[in-house]
Structure 1
């Protein structure tokens, strides 16, 4: 008798994702359950989620990314977890690979997904994003989130990790102001994380850390080959680093 195919819980955490939510929910429709934990969105996100009858919606106050994702993980009914951001999309090839991987007897505990960064509708090939990857598929029974990280959360894996062959599409750049807002937000949250560890902001951090970020991504990691798009992305990533130390300085005082 054939062993039953493992079931998948697809998880999302959201806030004001009206531009993404319908597409990502449709993208995840092959999962056996979809759970969205929303931080009380003020746009049409909640209305659009509620129109999807096969989606379980939970509204919960946002503390930080790790706290929210840990909570979402606890709500899942199945061991295999597919945890996406609202601006990520699974290609048909990646979907087929996911469904194959979870049936393998020697499957890893967790899988990295490489991501193709999208500047609106155009692919970015460099700018520091060429090696970008994150855990997106894993077994609930084999992982937990590192509680010391509150942004760019870290998954601690018990067992082997592997990397999927096909890439995830990452539609992170919608427009200049939106991406700038993300970088500033991440920078400020990173500052809170570092403040808890007792780190201090010095005058030279405001100059050399953003400058290094820009040079590393634009020159060393070939952002210059992405043209104007690469210049914008590398500048805004460096701005996020500046925001981190500005916030850290304020937290010190």
Structure 2
């Protein structure tokens, strides 16, 4: 089915990723092409990408994660695709494993990557990170992003999947405000997704769900063993749930009081 010397396309979507994107790009230079879809960054990300000799950068307005990643996937020239987030970095060992895998004649169409989560420059061992994995390597012809997910996008795979042995490095936590901003943004987008699916706000969920989220990350998923890092991460994840239900309540109120169509309200919220 496949043989040696398989070509691979590396893809990323970005918005204001300076301080992250440099390490990510440099860890992907072994790829046959690097395509980045940028949502009109204002912090120098676009200029860095535009001046990088190995990168093709396309600017496109951001609607949601699934839409942007689906567009990026269509830009890949090769069937094998490596799709990273801008705050993820491949180690040399993982680079070698990726190249060996795609040239091995594998019958698998997609591969999970486990990730090592970094809190600034320190590893997080627990807080839910011990089971954290995502699809990052796959055949373009055998996958599609689920259209009903606009955040924490889901990849649908035709055929068998595998898991690589080497972990990906995930530099998600640069500082408190940066990580908090990401989680709150996800919460707001999750509210749009929930309203589209007919889910409704309730005060009970606003109270119970964040408490459960904190308990799950800090106690069940052993965040307390990460010390202060685990406390901060568990708290921010719980705040994201609060933001989700606050945004959902605001959207429900707007759909009841506005004369605009629901579709227009949701597009404006995104």
**TM-score tier (shorter):** over 0.9
Matched, 1:231 2:228: no
Kindly state the Cα deviation for residue 106 of structure 1 after the two structures are TM-superposed.
2.8
Kindly state the Cα deviation for residue 107 of structure 1 after the two structures are TM-superposed.
3.5
Residue 243 of structure 1 corresponds to: 243
Runs of 4+ in 1 over 3 A off after TM superposition: none
Matched, 1:89 2:75: no
Question: What is the distance in 2 between the residues matched to 1:38 and 1:101?
Answer: 29
Kindly state the Cα deviation for residue 221 of structure 1 after the two structures are TM-superposed.
0.7
Give per-residue Cα distances to partners, 1:109-142, cap 9 Å, x unaligned.
Answer: 0000001110000000000111000000000010
Question: What is the distance in 2 between the residues matched to 1:4 and 1:91?
Answer: 22
Residue 153 of structure 1 corresponds to: 153
CA contact (8 A) 2:3 2:104 kept: no
RMSD (Å), alpha carbons: 1.1
Kindly state the Cα deviation for residue 4 of structure 1 after the two structures are TM-superposed.
4.3
Question: What is the distance in 1 between the residues matched to 2:13 and 2:106?
Answer: 30
Residue 60 of structure 1 corresponds to: 60
CA contact (8 A) 1:12 1:85 kept: yes
Once the two structures are superposed, the pairs formed by residues 96-107 of structure 1 within 5 Å of their partners are 96-107=96-107
Q: TM-score, normalised by structure 2?
A: 0.92
Residue segments in structure 2 that go unaligned for 5+ positions in a row = 254-270
Question: What is the distance in 1 between the residues matched to 2:24 and 2:89?
Answer: 6
Question: What is the distance in 2 between the residues matched to 1:114 and 1:3?
Answer: 26
Q: TM-score, normalised by structure 1?
A: 0.98
CA contact (8 A) 2:4 2:105 kept: no
Kindly state the Cα deviation for residue 3 of structure 1 after the two structures are TM-superposed.
4.6
Question: What is the distance in 2 between the residues matched to 1:4 and 1:154?
Answer: 30
Matched, 1:108 2:108: yes
User: What secondary structure does 2:9 align onto?
Assistant: strand
Once the two structures are superposed, the pairs formed by residues 33-48 of structure 1 within 5 Å of their partners are 33-48=33-48
Residue segments in structure 1 that go unaligned for 5+ positions in a row = none
Kindly state the Cα deviation for residue 23 of structure 1 after the two structures are TM-superposed.
1.6
User: What secondary structure does 2:224 align onto?
Assistant: helix
Question: What is the distance in 1 between the residues matched to 2:79 and 2:229?
Answer: 40
Kindly state the Cα deviation for residue 27 of structure 1 after the two structures are TM-superposed.
0.8
User: What secondary structure does 2:129 align onto?
Assistant: coil
User: What secondary structure does 1:182 align onto?
Assistant: helix
Kindly state the Cα deviation for residue 24 of structure 1 after the two structures are TM-superposed.
1.2
How many residues align structurally? 252
Give per-residue Cα distances to partners, 1:20-56, cap 9 Å, x unaligned.
Answer: 2222111110000000000000111111111102210
CA contact (8 A) 1:126 1:225 kept: yes
Change beyond 3 A, Cα 1:198–1:52: same
CA contact (8 A) 1:112 1:135 kept: yes
